[in-house]
Structure 1
Amino acid sequence: MFNDDINTIFINNEQTIINTINAHSYIVAKSDNVFKNALLESDILLPDGEGIVLMARALMGEKIKKIAGADIHSYLLKEANDKTLKCFYLGASESTLKLIKNKLSKNHTNITFGFYSPPFKDVFSESDNRDMLNKVNEFAPDILFMGMTAPKQEKWVHNHKDQINSKIICSIGAVFDFIAETKKRAPEWVINLKLEWLYRSFTAWRLTKRYIYSTPLFLIEVYKLKYFKKQPND
């Protein structure tokens, strides 16, 4: 299904926003309307978490597969290399972007790459926003990869999508660190056991706190939706 959607995007040549959702972002979105709207108005919203897979099975009887941000990036990068496209990376530090550039340029010789590291702050100024938009639009990428973590990246795209000159906009957050290898993604055997979330929880106290906070709330939400017949968007 994802492959079909992406092929349609390249054929139609229309701007497409790709976001992901997991248990934590679901809980955050319940109290953040801008983030909630950013996710709901995504052109493609992918399940980047076993919690969302569980929710789909429990509420709708659907068997879906987790698609992580790293998987989306790899797929789009292959398409970009096959089609000789332009990719822009917005987010992370200068040093991280340099590592990404050195690594990807060697293995994807058909892609033209662009990079920009925005200021590290909770809220961007109008000047910051103009600088980011100018950098992206001057490059005019076929694919814009956002790496500013959720919900910041999704909200920024949502607020500026009409000003962004890019065919595909894909928010992948921590994947920037995986590409640069400043942080390691879980081994494949851990991913296959559906325990990537547990592996990540041991990599940073910030993520540990996130799982401790979000996981119980999410499971309660699934229970309420299943047994009290509420809808996920209520």
Structure 2
Amino acid sequence: MALSNVVAAPDRRVRSRVPHRLTRREGERIRLLGQLMDKVRPEEVMHQLETWVEAEVKAVIANHNLHSLHLVRTEPRLAEFYACADLIQIDSTPLVAFGRLVGRGTRGKHRSTYLDWREHFWSLADRKGWRVMFIGGAEGVADMAAERLKARHGRVDLAVRSGYFDAAPGSEDNRRLVAEVAQFAPQVLLVGMGMPRQEIWIADHLDALPDCVVLNVGAAFDYEAGVQKAAPRWMGKAGLEWLYRLAVDPRRLFHRYCVEPWHLIGPIMDDLKAALKR
């Protein structure tokens, strides 16, 4: 992926949000099921993240999957988050397959999510000595994950905060949390509070955050703490990760995987019709 056109800032003061213009390859940004997303490989995402960290700018890396595509149709606030995202990964093998079917040129290499680039990210953060902050998870989970990560990546300056707080704008919890983030001044901020709560929180507080790269990462630290077991990566590449997760937690995920996709029939038919016309 080509580098963004950014200029390094001399300090880390909070300033107004200015979306970054990426010099994308032709056809790299596509519209699929009514939403914009980028055909980028995990290593390209990490390259762009490193570029932004070194330039000391504020940027947002988001992701789309079938769950988010459903939620964005039912939760208007979610659209605000995607509108301020600088880079939007495709976090779904079925979505990649559908993009290829309708002529958008997506391939398996374009699937990108935390589990695809986690080792690359922590190795990079360790080598560079980055300040990384994570917000999310139940009480104690983030601390457990932090201990494990620090044992393997001792040069990362890592701070964590539970996701159990009053996320309403203007609440005392929020004011305290934003102040903690500003004091720590992370270079990378990982927010893992589940969709759509994490995205709405980022959109609500983006202007108040210090200059850093912000990512929505869902259950990332649940995996790092070992309280959730990640599916084998071959299942992710084969498009079967959803089946693994459904088998592990059917009560919570049945509606997401077996009901929500039916709500996307409208945009699916729109994309199929457009492909036939092309």
Asked if these proteins are the same fold (TM beyond 0.5), I'd say yes
Structure-2 separation of matches of 1:214 and 1:54: 18
**1:24 correspondence with 2:70:** no
Gapped runs of 5+ residues in structure 2? 2-43
SS at match of 2:259: helix
Partner of 1:85: 130
Query: For structure 1, which segment, 62-71 or 193-202, has the greater mean C-alpha deviation from structure 2 after superposition?
Result: 62-71
Opposite residue 61 of structure 1, the aligned amino acid is R
Query: For structure 1, which segment, 182-191 or 65-74, has the greater mean C-alpha deviation from structure 2 after superposition?
Result: 65-74
Match of 2:259 among 193, 197, 213: 213
1:49-198 paired onto structure 2 within 5 Å: 49-64=92-107, 65-119=110-164, 123=168, 126-198=171-243
Structure-1 separation of matches of 2:98 and 2:78: 20
Aligned length: 229
Structure-2 separation of matches of 1:191 and 1:31: 27
Structure-1 separation of matches of 2:56 and 2:98: 33
Partner of 1:232: none
Identity percentage of aligned residues? 24
Opposite residue 237 of structure 2, the aligned amino acid is N
SS at match of 1:178: helix
Gapped runs of 5+ residues in structure 1? 230-234
Structure-1 separation of matches of 2:265 and 2:240: 16
**Residue pair 2:131, 2:156 contacting (<8 A) in 1 also:** yes
Structure-2 separation of matches of 1:165 and 1:122: 18
**Post-superposition offset of 1:14:** 1.1
Higher helix share: 1
Task: Summarize deviations over 1:179-220 as a string: whole Å, max 9, x none.
Answer: 111010001332232200111112221112111121222355
**Post-superposition offset of 1:224:** 2.4
Task: Summarize deviations over 1:100-121 as a string: whole Å, max 9, x none.
Answer: 1110011111111111114356
Query: For structure 1, which segment, 43-52 or 4-13, has the greater mean C-alpha deviation from structure 2 after superposition?
Result: 4-13
Opposite residue 227 of structure 1, the aligned amino acid is K
TM (normalized to structure 2)?
0.76
**Residue pair 1:97, 1:117 contacting (<8 A) in 2 also:** yes
Task: Summarize deviations over 1:34-62 as a string: whole Å, max 9, x none.
Answer: 10221232111101112321342233431
